[in-house]
Amino acid sequence: MSLHTSPEILPFELDAIATTEGRIVVFADPESPLPPAARRADKLTRGALARAVASQGFARLSPGESITLAWPGGLQAEALQIIRLPRKPDAAALRKAGTSIGRAQDRAPCLICLDRLPVEPVLQAALLRAYQYEAQKSDPKPGFGPFSVMLRNPEAAHATLDDLRARVAGVHLTRDLVNAPANVLTTESFAAQIAGMADLGLGIEILDEAALEEAGLRALLAVGQGSDSPSKLAILHWQGAEGAPLAIVGKGVMFDTGGVSLKPGAGMEEMTMDMGGAAVTVGLMQLLAGRKARANVVGIVGLVENMPDGRAQRPGDVIRAMSGKMIEVINTDAEGRLVLADALWYAQERFAPRAVIDLATLTGAIIVALGHGKAGVFANDDALADAFLGAAAEVGEGAWRMPLDPAYDELIKSRIADIKNSAGRPAGAITAAQFLQHFIRPGTPWMHLDIAGVALTKTESAHAPKGASGWGVMALDALVAARFEQR
């Protein structure tokens, strides 16, 4: 990650517009008088801004979109970005404005003339979009130039900056983890990185294979038994309040070949993202610690690598999960649910949580159903699902409720064991969620988020350039704040 995440907050001084270098951002609406900063920029550019705002091109812009005047006369800036925004913009327009700012950011500094506009949604979206992953390049770019924001009431804005920085840092950490190649981010290096997060005030435990065997997490261990990378379970605990915790459980398959049920070669390089659920969990835990959330949250991530080897599990094997349930392995490429089965049971048995949420890049079927715009939401508790869907909508992250029903249990009945790990293609995302529900204790509110379509995208998403999106960190943080945080 390379980005200045500590923007400077400046008083609203119009004289600074003439002398600021780099890029200046102002806001305008063709149906309203120009705001003060836009008026000053228009005067300095001898009417160039007003002509741009009156143009047909500007009229065709949606709220939050922009045009840019390069090397505008009368300014020392190299660019003047004019964003279309109504006088009373909604949250979506403010986020889109921030995204337009972040998309245009380069190594030059950027001054955003917000005036009386809300600082948090615009600046957060700008910082989220202005992200680049350069860690694996031989000659990394120097990074983005700094942001500064000019406001009428700069003192009030400082109160929101700490939480904003924590959110941005949590999302960026998640993206960095998902973007990292599997020979760099291994089960051991990921566990070591998690261990270092104890400095943030998180309680950290790393269980090795011996501890996992002793505890009975044999379904998780079976997935990684064909790999030279040792399987691990990492526990991150933020205890910002008393009472039973919320448990967040993430699938951390560092690389997924499919095992003996080998995936096709085309596109397999993207299976470095199969630890996306673990990445979101870790990013969220950093965020909660960073903003000192008044909540009790435990994050649990199962870290494994699914490789074909003489020791690897086979289709037809039967394994005993931590819960005692016997699982027939139909397809070794349906491995994430085996990791989650044990991690979910461990979370419930050890922490007796008030609710459990798991995240996983679990099925290609959810991409067939929802594409790359929304994650699939499965839940046994309507109140929990509704609260999450509201939180996701609030922060602009796409999510859609999917069904669970006992009728789907017929598809995962095993002839020789209690349950099988795959029912084939029909209703693939639903049967995967139905499988996981077998490892949720009665009465425990539970939600499963299938993020296979949103964790890594080939095109730009609402908040991110193409690649790792960090989807879910902000929505889960908003859920914690609304439903699980003490007031």
pLDDT in tens, 349-406: 999 999 999 999 999 999 999 999 999 999 999 999 999 999 999 999 999 999 999 9
CB-based contact 187:254 (threshold 8 Å): yes
CA distance 255 to 267: 12
State the chain's mean pLDDT as an integer.
Answer: 96
Average pLDDT on 409-425 reads: 97
Which tokens sit at 165?
């920085």
Average pLDDT on 451-466 reads: 90
Instruction: Please give the model's pTM, rounded to 2 decimal places.
Output: 0.96
Question: How many residues are recorded in the chain?
Answer: 487
Tens digit of each residue's pLDDT (9 = 90 or more) over 260-289: 999 999 999 999 999 999 999 999 999 999
Nearest to 330 by CA among 251, 265, 424: 424
Q: Is the pLDDT of residue 4 over 60?
A: no
pLDDT of residue 140: 82
Catalogue all structural domains in the chain, each as residue range(s) with its CATH number: 8-153 (3.40.220.10), 172-484 (3.40.630.10)
Tens digit of each residue's pLDDT (9 = 90 or more) over 31-55: 999 999 999 999 999 999 999 999 9
Average pLDDT on 234-239 reads: 98
The catalytic residue positions are 263, 337
Q: Is the pLDDT of residue 464 over 90?
A: no
pLDDT of residue 3: 46
- Burial status of residue 57 (CB atoms within 10 A of its CB: 0-12, 13-18, 19 or more): exposed
> Sign of torsion, CA 14 17 19 22?
positive
pLDDT of residue 2: 40
pLDDT of residue 5: 57
Query: C-alpha angle with apex 312: 208 to 314, nearest 5 degrees?
Result: 130
